[in-house]
Structure 1
Amino acid sequence: MPTTFTLIDLAGSIALLLLGTQMAQTGMQRAFGAGLQSLLARSLHDRGRAFIAGMGSAAVLQSGSATGSMTTGLAAEGRVNLVPALAVMLGTNVGATLIVQVLSFDVAAVSPALILVGVLMFRRTSNTRAHDLGRAFIGLGLMLFALHELLDLMTDYEDAPSLRVLLGAASTVPLVDVLLAASLSWAADSNVAAVLLVASLCARNVVPPDTAFALVLGANLGAAIKPVLESAVPDDPASRRLPVGNLLILLIGATLVLGALGPIGRFMVSMDADNGRVVADFHTLFNVVLAVLFLPLLSPYANLLGHLMPALIKVTRGRTARPYLRRTSNVRRECAGRQGQYS
């Protein structure tokens, strides 16, 4: 019976964390989303400015997925080239880690104040921005409260040994950890919530640091999977270049880190004795290193993506026929034999 109640408490705290994350992201996106989208469109001229814009947007919106969705939409409309769009995604991944860094500190004492201020602002329906910011403050307060409850729950973890067995059963194989966290992050549509949950578990020694690092890798991958499945133009492979490119970068990084997880884990633990903080630091370091490695290589990488996912072009047969799509290579061959049949 105690184990049953502990599982219910654990599930309830996780649900509250996910709800708070969704409210914070929705509120910030409604309050600043339109302005940030215009700012992104103006900043996507070179990879350096695009990287900074993506990082700032993700930090403001409390969500990397929201910034990624806006950038994917701009790329699908042809308003931004692939190289700066990929730079935005790298910046977005780093910006999401800043949120985790802030929330990983013990700031739960301010959660009641955030909820109070949020409710007062949320009731001001005459002011749309104040209403949306109130929603975001309520979400942040709920997130901090949920994290505090998780830590308290894990403090009494020794009283539920069967729960330790249940959560520890999936902690023996790093690849299983990656898949588990990727599923959670994909379902929650937030790697921030998933990483915060992992940091809470590691802070109370529920899972060892190496397992937590593998879970963090999976959380990053899970958040990048959903945009691939929700491309703007399903029949056009070019519309998937940006989300697929971002996912491949994270997949390459996760594969390399998994291969050297032992020494990397020992190095991270030696830097900070606080297991909760070391998870946040690993999350940040992973995405920063990926950005440093891939930013100089974005041009050839974008060319490779272009070859792997060629664009479709619109061709009209006759003057009154309906337009249809052909791959670029096929159109060239048809045009050579039917020069007079295309308008």
Structure 2
Amino acid sequence: MGTTLTLVFSVLAAVMLFLHGLAAFAEEITRLGGERLRDALRRLTRTDWRGALVGASVTAVVQSSSAVTAMAVGLAHSGALSHRGALAVMIGANVGTTLTAWLVALKVAGLGPVFVTLGGLWSLTGPRPWRSYGKAVFHFGLIFLALDLISQALAPLAQNPALAEWHELLDSPVLALLFGALLTALVQSSSVVSGLAVLAVSQGIVAPQVAVWLVAGANIGTTSTALLASTALDTLARKLALLNTGFNILGVLLFATLLQPVIDLILATDMAATQQVALVHTVFNLAAAIAALLVLPRIWPHLQGWLKANHTDLP
């Protein structure tokens, strides 16, 4: 097998390991605390701000905004969560997902083998009632072990002469935005894209100024999960997923306009390039969430009218 093909499969294999580790971790956490998570979402979403805080917190724990947005749509469909509460949770989920970029930027990924070892031993030899928690720890470590592998697989790419031919495309913010959105929609995880963006910066493959557009695009691509989940539900759920997409698109417009001076200041600091990207990701998502939460009370009567169209049972 040629060197290039080996490199491609090494990167893809590491990404697949990351995706499956992330999915398994989210599944374990949701299973272990599933009903408690659902109860928390139901009880703690009485105001927009609390709903967003719950969405951010649950996403930070589960490490998947896609899983949380899909859960919110499903709970709204079943009537366990108000539609406004579900929207607030989805707005907050974007903030919670920024944790992945920070963990990668601060090199917490290096602890992956430790968590894999401890979790594996715990799930095999621990007290039987507690072994399922060991599985969660194992899969959490697997996420960051995969990130280590991705970083190692990407290292030779930075020295590949063929990369120079792609630099013009890699340095285009618009193409980076579209690529981030498409890649996120494909892998169904903005955490993958934000983690890859930070790793690409650490290897010198892309500049921080371009990586931030990748993570901005991920915010649009991550809405595809709620859109897909809503196709199997009713019209209200589909409208809710569309609203989530609309808010995320408005957030990216905010990123591309009013936030640019702030982003330029962050990228001009003496912080490590990876931490610059993580900070921009956090500031962007926080600003977008705050703007959405400030606007939501003013426009909700109009949105409620649209949601109620052809429906009389909307809470």
Deviations 1:164-190 (A, max 9, x none): 535x46424323222221122122221
User: How far 1:207 moved relative to its partner?
Assistant: 0.8
Question: Distance between the aligned counterparts of 1:163 and 1:80, measured in 2?
Answer: 48
- Could you tell me how far apart the structure 2 residues matched to 1:138 and 1:117 are? 7
Aligned to 2:225: 226
1:129-278 alignment runs, 5 A limit: 130-131=131-132, 133-163=133-163, 165-166=165-166, 168=167, 170-231=169-230, 234=233, 236=235, 238-259=236-257, 263-278=261-276
The offset of 1:147, in angstroms, is 2.1
Structure 1: which amino acid aligns with 2:191?
V
Shift, 1:222, TM fit: 1.0
Counterpart of 2:11 in structure 1 is 10
SS of residue matched to 1:181: helix
Aligned length: 312
Does residue 76 in structure 1 map to residue 74 in structure 2?
no
User: Aligned partners of 1:53, 1:282: CA distance in 2, in Å?
Assistant: 22
Does structure 2 retain, via aligned residues, the 8 Å contact 1:119–1:135? yes
Please state how far the C-alpha of 1:239 moved relative to its aligned partner.
Answer: 2.1
CA contact (8 A) 2:106 2:275 kept: yes
SS at match of 2:268: helix
Q: How does 1:44-63 map to 2 (within 5 A)?
A: 44-63=45-64
Contact 2:120 2:134 in 1 (8 A): yes
How far off its partner does 1:51 sit?
2.0
Residue 22 of structure 1 and its aligned partner are, at CA, apart by 1.9
Separation in structure 2 between the aligned mates of residue 240 and residue 272 of structure 1, nearest angstrom: 44
After superposition, the C-alpha distances for 1:100-122 in whole angstroms (9 at most, x for unaligned) are: 32343112442222111222233
Amino acid at match of 1:27: E
In structure 2, do the counterparts of structure 1 residues 169 and 226 end up closer, same or farther at CA, with 3 Å as the change threshold? farther
Say whether the 8 Å CA contact 2:100–2:191 is kept in structure 1: yes
**Over aligned residues, Cα RMSD in angstroms?**
2.7
Secondary structure of the corresponding residue to residue 80 of structure 2: coil
> Quick one: which amino acid aligns to residue 304 of structure 1?
H
Secondary structure of the residue aligned to 2:97 is helix
For the Cα contact (< 8 Å) 2:173–2:210, is it kept in 1?
yes
- Structure 2: runs of 5+ lacking an equivalent: none
1:94 CA drift (Å): 1.0
Shift of 1:251: 0.2
CA 235–49 in structure 1, closer or farther in 2 if over 3 Å, else same:
closer
| SS of residue in 1 equivalent to 2:162 | helix
With 206-215 and 11-20 compared, the bigger mean Cα shift is at 11-20
TM-score (norm 2): 0.87
**Quick one: structure 1 residues 304 and 126, their matched pair in 2 at CA, closer, same or farther if it must change by over 3 Å?**
farther
Using the TM superposition, name which of 77-86 and 48-57 deviates more: 77-86
Structure 1 residues not aligned, in runs of 5+: 316-343
Amino acid at match of 1:269: L
CA gap 1:206/1:118 in 2 versus in 1, 3 angstroms: same
- The 1:163/1:129 distance shift into structure 2, 3 A limit, reads farther
TM-score, scaled to structure 1 = 0.81
Q: CA deviation at 1:201?
A: 0.3
In structure 1, C-alpha distance between the alignment counterparts of 2:229 and 2:110, rounded to whole Å: 39
d(CA) in 2 for partners of 1:126, 1:294? 46
Q: Larger Cα Rg: Structure 1 or Structure 2?
A: 1
Pairing 1:307–2:312 present:
no
| The 10-residue stretch of structure 1 (187-196 or 263-272) with the greater mean CA deviation from structure 2 | 263-272
- Paired with 2:258 and 2:8, the residues of 1 have a C-alpha distance of 33
